[in-house]
Structure formats: structure tokens, C-alpha cells
Amino acid sequence: MSIFVDESTKVVVHGLTGGQARFHGLRNRAYGTKVVAGVNPAKGGQEVEGIPVFANAAQAREATGAQASFIAVPARVAPASIIEAASAGMEVIVCITEGIPAQDEARVYNLLKRDYPSARLIGPNCPGVISPGRCNIGITDGEVALAGGPVGIVSRSGTLTYQALYELKQMGIGVTTCVGIGGDPVPGTSFVDCLEAFEADPETRAVMLIGEIGGTDEEQAADYIARELSKPVVAYIAGVTAPPGRRMGHAGAIISGGTGTAQAKMAALRSAGAKVAQNPTEAGQLMADIVRSL
């Protein structure tokens, strides 16, 4: 099994007629993902390399039976696109757009929770979700991921997501699903959401968690691991040398006061029973040791 998406998932690409959405949407299709439609309110009725374009997500869903939206549109229209996808009944919404104001993210997050609780938003500002060999929605290079393995990955960092997949592939370890949740202050899907899904997935037998400085999401994940997760966890936290008060990379990666430090997150995860690595390569090696013992 996999979590959130699989080989049956049909995907609508919002902004497919634009440069970025076209590039990544067609790469997803080349990987084997069922990209069945595009959305552009000004270009309904057109096609992009055989993919029909509709004026809105509701029309695309009605015509194709799509269950997922891939949103790769500018920040000024991304919140409206997310809401449009949710109102159309999309079950999974992947938004890679960066630069969305935090207040807009919070508004969309709360609106989805209130009015469209069955819609799962992954992102914004994330690499997306890949179930290797089955489905890839987003910007992750499918070539760095090996299918058929026992490991689930959840990460705040896009670059470290790719490295984690590659480290495991180099050791012949496959992945059930890899979810890049993004590093913005208000992600649609959290570490705990993914850990709950991995706990329920019988094919996922171990989990790699990649966090970074800022916020308390990793501490919340540690609490869930200690209380609920029955599967071994390897964790890596980026930003050990980050100075307090300075944002590092993501909008959510800032140490404020005495909270959000890498050291505090690493301590919480160790206390929860996770094996905590000092760098991504060590994380891969620790996971290889776990996989050999499964």
C-alpha cells in the first residue's frame, strides 16, 4: 500500500498551460502518474499534449473522475485555486507554490478544516508526494526514488527529501510513500498526519522524519511517536548551527526565544525512542540498520 496517493489516483494540474505547471505536470505523467486534465479559466477547451484543459476543477472532476489536484500557479491566485479544488471534491490537493502570505495560508487552512474536512492539502511550498512506481504529484525527481520498500518518509525540507530518497536508493532500500509537507508556517498536512497514515499502512514498517528549526511540529511528532507509533523511526533535524532570531530557508524555519531549536527537537525525538542522526547520510545508514533487522 501507500498513503494519500497510488496508481489509481487521477490528477488535475491547475495552471497546466503555464510554464512551470506544464513542465512538472508532464514530468509527472511521464513517470506514470494519471494526469487526466488541466485547469485554466481562460483556456477551457484547449489541450496540452493531449491533456484536456477545463475552465475549472469541478468541470475537470466531472469529466474525468479525478480525485487529486496539483496546484502550480502564482502565489496571488494559489489560495483561490486550493479552495476551488476542495469545493470540487478533490481528495488530495498538492500545492507547490511558494510565497503565499502566512495570513492567507491560515485562512485557507481553517476554511478547509471547517467546510471541506475530507480534502487533504499537502503544502504549500512543498515538493509534493511520491509513492515510487505508483504516483508522483509535484516536483520530486522520480529517478532518485526506489519502489517496493518498507520505509515511509515525511520531510519539511524539499532538498533533504530528495537526498533521503537517494541515500536509501543507494543502499537498495525502497520507499512506500514520501511526503514533503513544506516549511511554511501553516502547512496543510503535518508530521503527525503523516505518522498516523504510516502507522495504519501495513507496507510501511519504518519511518524517516526530516525536520528543521522553527515551530513545535517536531516536538508534537515526538509526542505522537512516544504514545502511538509502533514502528521504528529515524530522524534528522536541519539547522543545528542556526543563530537565534534569524530565518533559515523556509518561512517557518526561525528560532524565536527559547523555542524551535534543533537541539530541543533532537532531544524530544530521542526521548520518544527515535534514532536521531547528525546528518542525512547517517540517517540513511541508521535506517539501513533498521531495515536489516525487520
Phi and psi at residue 211, in whole multiples of 5°?
-115, -175
**Torsion region of 120: left, alpha or beta (phi above 0 gives left; psi -120 to 50 gives alpha):** beta
pLDDT at 88 over 60: yes
pLDDT in the model for residue 52: 98
Residue 128 pairs in a beta bridge with: 138, 180
Concatenate the DSSP letters of all residues of 79-119 into one string: HHHHHHHHHTT-SEEEE------HHHHHHHHHHHHHH-TTP
Order across the sheet with 128-131: list the strands. 135-138, 128-131, 175-180, 151-155, 206-212, 233-238, 275-277
Question: Once rounded to an integer, what is the mean pLDDT over residues 277-293?
Answer: 95
What confidence tens digit (pLDDT) does each residue in 120-144 have?
999 999 999 999 999 999 999 999 9
- Higher pLDDT: 263 or 152? It is 152
Domains and their CATH numbers in the chain:
10-122 (3.40.50.720), 141-293 (3.40.50.261)
Contact 260, 141 (CB under 8 A): no
Q: Which amino acid belongs to residue 151? A: V
24 in active site: no
pLDDT at 247 over 80: no
Q: Of residues 14, 169, 250, 275, which has the active-site annotation?
A: 250
pLDDT in the model for residue 210: 96
